[in-house]
Structure 1
Amino acid sequence: MQETRRRVLETLESGPATGPELAAQLDISRAAIWNHVQRLREAGFEITDTADGYELRTVPEYGAAAIEHELAANVEVEFHDELASTNATARERAADGADGLAVVAERQTGGRGRLDREWVSPVGGIYASLVTRPDVPPAESPAFTLAAAIAVAETAAEAGVDAGIKWPNDVLVPQPTADDIAAGPTGERDPPTDGAKLAGVLTEMEGEADRVSWLIAGIGVNANVDPAKLPAGATSLAGEGGPVSRRAFLAGVLDRFLELTSDLESVLPAWRRRALTLGREVRVETPRGVVEGTATDVEFPGALIVETTEGPVRVAAGDCEHLRPR
């Protein structure tokens, strides 16, 4: 959002203000204040004329200006009612030199997740792809994938949904099993094989041998979506804890992601705090074959350490499945 326009909004959030008061406070003309107010109204902000001056009544539920209004970070938002894929559009913007740009869509018609799986994208979800240009070598880019999953899981927790992460980046809400229910609140329970999927992350990057040219963190969150409209095994924020403010939720995710990636050493401790995989029996399908054993830790920039019958194995990439204890 344009900086002066942001300051107009911040001032009106504290109460009504007249045009002359705003002009004096921001050191611009009254005509400029009127212009900024008009642009905000066009963006969906309800600003009324009262005896006390301009008064901010409501903020739009979603859209570029609404999301930018919630952001602490300096991120530009490009909003679309519909896209085939926010990641695809973000790649185009990255090729044109974009940096600090979030491409957001109300819905996607061709969303994809990891391993080119279809990502169902009904209205009410959050579909966003952030273009950044981090000054890191490509070998460190997996840490950005973990950071995006952490940002979603932590923001979900703040919204009252206790989400965790299945390695590397699936954000899940643990679900009780039939055995859990039969055991009752004090009985012994086995952990569920997985959980209901709340969100997914897809990162893409382009770079040279020693540096990343651009990196895109694509995030899809089942936010205000009826779980009945989602595939089996999926859930939503609305289904778990009630509807959320999508603009505030997305802003929280973007702000936290940028905070984490400004200090990559903070990523693994934060990931461990939200991990559902560590300590679990897992089967990981990798390009070199299947690795099965107990997940014991993660190593920078995001490899999973699996203790097998033949010793520890470091898995850099693969499709992870949680298994029930033997």
Structure 2
Amino acid sequence: MDTRRALLDALEDGPVSGPALAAELDVSRTAVWKAVEALREEGFAVESTSDGYAAPADPAYCAAGIEFGLDAPYAVEYHEGLPSTNDRARELAAEGAADVAVVADEQTGGRGRLDREWVAPSGGVWLSLVTRPTVPPARAPLFTLAAAVATVDACREAGVDAHIKWPNDVLVGAPDASVGRGGRGGRKVAGVLTEMEGEADRVSWLVAGVGVNANVDAETLPAGATSLREELGEPVDRRRFAATLLERFAALAGTPDRTDRILPAWRDRASTLGKRVRVETSTGAVSGTAVDVESPGALVIDTGEGTRRVHAGDCEHLRDADD
């Protein structure tokens, strides 16, 4: 562990003196001072008290702020602005990086599924996690579901009762009605875009990109979208939100032996199951009742004439006839 991350861990227990830090971290006092100054320059305002160095009472939204107290094995690379956190994560993956979350205050070239534009102004949580799961490419869609679950859990911890529309839209409100464009069944607050590179038998790297309209003005968003601040009436703690998302993702998908938890967790948070839906696929529309999701993320639809398994497409929630 590098001195910076070890210092953050040491500060969790309260003020600690420079000599005690140097002894605990097995580095020189100069190295401790340099690490403290680096954290301050990053935006993590370490305080000097009579009892030693202390963490700020309200850590800023920055790399060290997110890493402080983080119960997940990820480093954070923070930027004030980027064209795309997914693009930066792909660069890091190509350089051999793993377990790094790229976070930006704003994106100027964000995109969603099918290269659709994603509005990503300052105030959102724009995050892309580089991982190297030891699974075959056929199981990669599970990590999209895991990212959606992690995002819902972070929304709920922040006080917003979110739910998932298959496969990766995170919505709030009105799960039983067609609301806005495309019959979303709620107002979109977040989305997931997963990209990967692999060989026939294994994933080389996977990037799970999450975009959350956190403290974003609702009037800047597309029709049918909302923000956490809009729903709550007050800002959310983006630092804590990002940490919760990363922690929940690690708990679900951090190791191969945990991935069997993903589908049950997704089902528990989904608003699509049990609903009448229409899914536009590359070969045409499939309509019926969504009855299940099967590994690695296929939606099972009862068409009335049998069941169809849909692996990709745009899902629309339909009103039931008695609505």
Aligned position for 2:20? 21
Kindly report which structure 2 residues correspond to 1:129-148, keeping only aligned pairs within 5 A, or say none.
129-148=128-147
Amino acid at match of 1:258: A
Q: Aligned partners of 2:297 and 2:23: how far apart in 1?
A: 52
Question: What SS does structure 2 have at the residue aligned with 1:224?
Answer: coil
Aligned position for 1:79? 78
Aligned position for 1:206? 197
Call closer, same or farther: CA 1:47–1:213 in 2, change over 3 Å.
closer
Aligned position for 1:295? 290
Amino acid at match of 2:275: R
TM-score, normalised with respect to structure 2: 0.91
Q: Aligned partners of 1:250 and 1:135: how far apart in 2?
A: 24
Question: What SS does structure 2 have at the residue aligned with 1:28?
Answer: coil
Matched positions, count: 314
State the Cα distance separating 1:54 from its structure 2 match. 2.6
Question: What SS does structure 2 have at the residue aligned with 1:203?
Answer: strand
Contact 2:278 2:315 (C-alpha < 8 Å) held by counterparts: yes
Deviates more, 1:205-214 or 1:159-168: 205-214
Tell me which of 234, 238, 247 is aligned to 1:255: 247
Aligned position for 1:230? 221
Aligned position for 1:189? none
Amino acid at match of 1:253: L
Question: What SS does structure 1 have at the residue aligned with 2:61?
Answer: coil
Tell me which of 194, 200, 205 is aligned to 2:185: 194
TM-score, normalised with respect to structure 1: 0.90
State the Cα distance separating 1:228 from its structure 2 match. 2.1
State the Cα distance separating 1:300 from its structure 2 match. 0.7
Amino acid at match of 1:158: E
Amino acid at match of 2:237: S
Question: What SS does structure 2 have at the residue aligned with 1:46?
Answer: coil
Aligned position for 1:160? 159
Q: Which runs of 4+ in 1 moved over 6 A?
A: 176-179
Contact 1:163 1:173 (C-alpha < 8 Å) held by counterparts: yes
Identity %: 62
Gaps of 5+ in 2: none
Question: What SS does structure 2 have at the residue aligned with 1:219?
Answer: strand
Structure with higher Rg: it is 1
Contact 1:193 1:324 (C-alpha < 8 Å) held by counterparts: no
Amino acid at match of 2:316: E
State the Cα distance separating 1:177 from its structure 2 match. 9.1
Kindly report which structure 2 residues correspond to 1:1-326, keeping only aligned pairs within 5 A, or say none.
3-175=2-174, 194-241=185-232, 242-261=234-253, 262=255, 263-326=258-321
Q: Deviations over 1:9-33 (max 9, x none)?
A: 3433433332223333444332222
Question: What SS does structure 2 have at the residue aligned with 1:77?
Answer: strand
Call closer, same or farther: CA 1:104–1:193 in 2, change over 3 Å.
closer
Question: What SS does structure 2 have at the residue aligned with 1:41?
Answer: helix
Question: What SS does structure 1 have at the residue aligned with 2:7?
Answer: helix
Q: Aligned partners of 1:135 and 1:276: how far apart in 2?
A: 30
